[in-house]
Amino acid sequence: MTDRLWDVVVVGGGAAGLSAALVLGRARRSTLVIDRGRQSNLPAHGIGGLLGHDGRPPAELYASGRDELRKYSVDVEIGTVVAASGKADDFTLTLDTGDTVRARRIVLAAGMDYTYPDIPGVAELWGRSVFHCPFCHGWEVQDQPLAVLDGGPMAEHRVQLLSNWSDDVVLLTNGEPSEIPGADTRRVARLSVVGGELEGVVFEDGSTLRRKGILVPAPLSQRSDLAEQLGVTFADPSPASLNPVAADTRAMTNVPGVFAAGDIGAPMPQVAAAVATGSMAGNAAVQTLIFGL
Ligand SMILES: Cc1cc2nc3c(=O)[nH]c(=O)nc-3n(C[C@H](O)[C@H](O)[C@H](O)COP(=O)(O)OP(=O)(O)OC[C@H]3O[C@@H](n4cnc5c(N)ncnc54)[C@H](O)[C@@H]3O)c2cc1C
């Protein structure tokens, strides 16, 4: 990478970052997308609920998004940004290789980490028969025997929500006491996986409950402290790393010249929302380059 001053550097090449880059490219703004290439939903078979791409593999969306950028003034580089400093019109971003790039504006679109329960079998089925979002994956397991695996305060809410997709929903609290009618409080040992599919939930007492899908909580956290390094404020300041950054309806943060799009600033993470806020961030960044901050 050179000492070139880009109009905009976009950190992250998921739905949000690529959407921002498309708007920036079409506005003829020199744009560099730096992407680590680990979009959150890659383990899923398909993206549920994205108009024009419903049920199709996530990787196809990112590949076609990158293809669409080729004819515009956008470069996409594989890399990881580890540090950010400076101010509007002269930000510096440092990659893990030690390379630096300079930008007049920054779009933060690095997504968030999802932490799913640490139970054997969950990682193998994550984003398919074990999921955190019934709007994304409920259709695929509709009318099947399902479970909510959650011993926390949102358990009953999740049971009610998932009951929209099936009449057979069991709450498993994994050892936590519960007064919710029908709750099974036994400790879960592992998930039984046969041929890559969920067969059931195996309890510590050795018995198995056959299930086809499981809804779990998956709290989100920031993937890095880039936003903090730039002085961006969070929606809820304590503890900042667990919260989305605060961005207004134009995807602008409190730091002039820094925009945030996608999960990194989303109260309700969805691909459609990431595309929308990415588009907004691209649009707003261009306007600030034309009219000033
Ligand atoms: C398993 C799973 C399944 C899901 N299924 C659905 C679904 O069916 N429908 C739906 O609407 N939503 C779904 N979601 C939510 C959806 O994936 C997210 O809302 C969406 O991916 C957010 O897009 P994003 O661009 O903000 O982040 P991401 O898609 O995560 O993209 C961020 C990109 O930035 C890169 N990055 C991170 N840090 C850096 C850095 N420091 N430097 C450079 N690059 C960096 C990452 O590697 C990644 O490539 C699912 C989520 C999960 C976890």
Which tens digits make up the pLDDT trace of 205-224?
Answer: 999 999 999 999 999 999 99
Cα(26) to ligand 1 centroid in Å equals 23
**Which of 32, 165, 271 is the best mutation target for the ligand 1 pocket, counting ligand atoms within 8 Å of the beta carbon and taking the most?**
271
3-state SS class at 210: strand
Tokens representing 92 are 């510096």
Is this prediction's pTM over 0.85? Answer: yes
**Which of 9, 32, 33, 40 is the best mutation target for the ligand 1 pocket, counting ligand atoms within 8 Å of the beta carbon and taking the most?**
40
CATH value of 5-114+219-291 in 3.60.21.10, 3.40.50.720, 3.50.50.60, 1.10.150.120: 3.50.50.60
DSSP class of residue 245? B
Give pLDDT, residue 98.
Answer: 97
Position 141 pLDDT exceeds 60: yes
* Percent share of the chain, pLDDT over 90: 92
Tokens representing 221 are 């956290």
- Give 209's strand partners: 201
pLDDT tens track for 239-282: 666 778 889 889 999 999 999 999 999 878 999 999 999 999 99
80 lines ligand 1 (CB under 6 A): yes
Closest ligand 1 atom number to CA of residue 95:
42
Position 238 pLDDT exceeds 80: no
Q: Which range, of 32-46, 85-99, 258-272, averages the lowest pLDDT?
A: 258-272
Give pLDDT, residue 3.
Answer: 79
Mean pLDDT of the chain: 95
40 lines ligand 1 (CB under 6 A): yes
Strands (E), the chain: 5-11, 31-35, 74-78, 81-87, 90-95, 100-108, 112-114, 130-131, 146-149, 169-172, 188-194, 197-203, 208-210, 213-215, 220-222, 258-260
3-state DSSP helix/strand/coil % of the chain, to nearest 5: 25, 30, 45
Give pLDDT, residue 268.
Answer: 82
Residue whose CA is at the smallest distance from ligand 1 atom 4: 41
Position 1 pLDDT exceeds 60: no
Q: pLDDT band at 71, cuts 50/70/90?
A: very high
58 lines ligand 1 (CB under 6 A): no
Give pLDDT, residue 266.
Answer: 83
Domain ranges of the chain: 5-114+219-291, 122-215
Give pLDDT, residue 152.
Answer: 95
Are the folds of 5-114+219-291 and 122-215 the same?
Answer: yes
Position 63 pLDDT exceeds 80: yes
Q: What is the rounded distance in angstroms from the CA atom of residue 222 to the CA atom of residue 231? A: 14
Q: Which range, of 148-152, 231-235, 274-278, averages the lowest pLDDT?
A: 231-235
39 lines ligand 1 (CB under 6 A): yes
Q: What is the rounded distance in angstroms from the CA atom of residue 166 to the CA atom of residue 145? A: 7
Topology of domain 122-215, CATH: FAD/NAD(P)-binding domain (3.50.50)
Give pLDDT, residue 243.
Answer: 79
119 Cβ partners below 8 Å, 6+ apart?
A: 149, 174, 188, 190, 191
Long-range contacts of 179-188 (CB under 8 A, 24+ apart): 180/155, 180/156, 183/155, 184/209, 188/119, 188/149
Closest ligand 1 atom number to CA of residue 271:
11
CB 127 within 8 A of CB 41: yes
